[in-house]
Amino acid sequence: MLTSIDGQQVAKDESAPTLNLNAAMEANGFAGCNRYFGKAELKDGKLRLGNMGMTRMACAEPEMKLEDSVAKSLSDWSAVTVKGGQMTLTSGEHSLVFAPAK
């Protein structure tokens, strides 16, 4: 579950973006308005979702802005750091912090 983006806390409820990765590097989740899926790639400490697909519902501006930031960060190469049970993805534009959902 996304807990913060660019240092700003994200609501910790069902509206929070998520990222699920399995052992086969298949990824899926919720980006803030729509669901997404793709094949994750890990190379030289960086992660991205290749060929990311997404549903196309429209939502209010705050959700669409968050979703745009999440989707762009996941589709670009982002440095991965795992520390204290949290995973941070840092791209050229954004820093996303994920923690396990309860």
Residue 13 is predicted with a pLDDT of 78
Two tokens, residue 6: 């660019």
Percentage of the chain beyond pLDDT 70 is: 100
Burial state string for 34-62 with b = 16 or more CB within 10 A and e = fewer than 16: bebebebeeeeeebbbeebeeeeeeeeee
Q: Which CATH class is domain 2-98?
A: mainly beta
Query: What mean pLDDT value characterizes the chain?
Result: 92
Q: What is the pLDDT of residues 51-101, one digit of tens each?
A: 899 999 999 988 999 999 999 999 999 999 999 999 999 998 999 999 997
pTM: predicted TM-score of the whole model, two decimal places: 0.89
Instruction: Report domain extents, the chain.
Output: 2-98
Q: What is the DSSP letter of 61?
A: H
